[in-house]
Amino acid sequence: MARSVILGAGVAGLAAAYHLQRLGEKDPLVLEKNPYPGGLAATMEWNGCRMDLGPHRIHTVYPRADELITEMVGEDLIVRKRTSQIFLDGQWMDYPPRAGEMFRKLGLLTAAKIGLSALQGKVRGLKNKVTGNPPESYGDYLAERFGPYVRELIFDPFALKVYREEADDLDVMVAKVRLASQGIFSMLKEAITGKTASAVKKFRYPKQGMGLISARLQQHIEKEGGEVLLGHEATRIRHTGGLVRSVEFEDPNGEKMSVEASRVITTIPLPILVDLLEPKPNQAVRDAAENLTYADSFLVYTLVNRKPLTPNCWMYFPGDETVFSRVYEICHFSPEMTPEGQSCLCAEIPARPADPVQFTDEEDLKQRVWEGFVETGMARDAECIDQVVLKIPRAYPIYRKGYKEDLGTILEHLSTLGNLISTGRHGLFHYNNSDHSLEMGRLAAEYARQTPEKSEGWYSKRDEFDRYRIVD
Ligand X SMILES: Cc1cc2nc3c(=O)[nH]c(=O)nc-3n(C[C@H](O)[C@H](O)[C@H](O)COP(=O)(O)OP(=O)(O)OC[C@H]3O[C@@H](n4cnc5c(N)ncnc54)[C@H](O)[C@@H]3O)c2cc1C
Binding region for ligand X (CB under 6 A):
7-13, 31-34, 39-41, 54-57, 233-234, 267-268, 272, 297, 348, 395, 424-426, 432-435, 437
Alpha carbons 3 and 276: distance in angstroms, whole number: 19
Do the Cβ atoms of 347 and 54 come closer than 8 Å? no
Closest to ligand X by CB, 34 or 128: 34
Residue placing its CB nearer to ligand X in the complex, 31 or 411? 31
- Please enumerate in sequence order all residues whose Cβ is within 8 A of that of 21, keeping only pairs 6 or more positions apart, or say none: 28, 221, 224, 225, 226
Whole-number minimum distance, CB 274 to ligand X, in Å?
Answer: 12
Closer to ligand X by Cβ: residue 36 or 92: 36
- Choose between 32 and 140: whose C-beta lies nearer to ligand X: 32
Phi-psi region of 37 (alpha: psi -120 to 50; beta: other; left: phi over 0): beta
Distance CA 436, CA 167 (A): 25
Distance CA 270, CA 288 (A): 10
What are phi and psi for residue 197, nearest 5 degrees? Answer: -95, -15
Nearer to ligand X, 128 or 235 (CB): 235
Nearer to ligand X, 106 or 395 (CB): 395
Burial code (b: 16+ CB inside 10 Å, e: under 16) for 151-189 equals bebbbbebbebbbbbebebbbbbbbbbbbebbbbbbbbb
Choose among 30, 118, 95, 133: nearest CA to 441. Answer: 30
Q: Which lies closer to ligand X via its Cβ, residue 87 or residue 396?
A: 396
Our CB check for ligand X shows the closer of 25 and 32 to be: 32
Min. distance of Cβ 423 from ligand X in angstroms? 7
Q: Say how many C-beta atoms besides its own lie within 10 A of residue 1's C-beta.
A: 5
How many Cα atoms occupy the beta-carbon half-sphere of 369 within 13 Å? 30
Q: Which of 55, 82, 91 is nearest to 377 (CA)?
A: 91
Report, in Å, the least distance between residue 176 CB and ligand X: 17
Q: What angle do CA 85, 87, 91 make, to 5 degrees?
A: 110
| Minimal distance, residue 232 CB to ligand X, in Å | 7
Beta bridge partners of 327: 315, 347
Cβ(195)–Cβ(55) under 8 Å? no
**Residues making up the chain, counted from first to last:** 472
Q: Up-side HSE of residue 69: CA atoms within 13 Å toward CB?
A: 25
Which residue's CB is nearer to ligand X, number 153 or number 234? 234
Least distance in Å: CB of 64 to ligand X?
A: 15
Looking at the Cβ atoms of 106 and 398, the one nearer to ligand X is: 398
| DSSP H helical ranges for 346-431 | 362-375, 403-414, 424-427
Shortest spacing between CB 469 and ligand X, in angstroms: 11
Instruction: Give the shortest CB-280-to-ligand X separation in angstroms.
Output: 16
Give the nearest distance from C-beta 42 to ligand X in angstroms. 7
- Nearest approach, Cβ of residue 329 and ligand X (Å): 14
- Is the preceding omega at residue 28 within 30 degrees of 0, hence cis? no
The percent of the chain in helix, strand and coil, each rounded to the nearest 5, is 40, 25, 30
Residue 395 Cβ, how far from ligand X at the closest point, in Å?
A: 4
| Residue 235 CB-density burial (10 A; 0-12 exposed, 13-18 middle, 19+ buried) | middle
Nearer to ligand X among residue 150 and residue 471 (C-beta): 471
Q: Please give the C-alpha separations between residue 114 and each of 151, 336, 388, in angstroms, as whole numbers.
A: 10, 42, 40
Residue 68 or 102 having the CB closest to ligand X:
68
Taking the complex as a whole, the smallest distance from the CB of residue 296 to ligand X amounts, in Å, to 10
Cis peptide before 308 (omega within 30 of 0): yes
* Smallest separation (angstroms) from ligand X to the CB of 443: 12
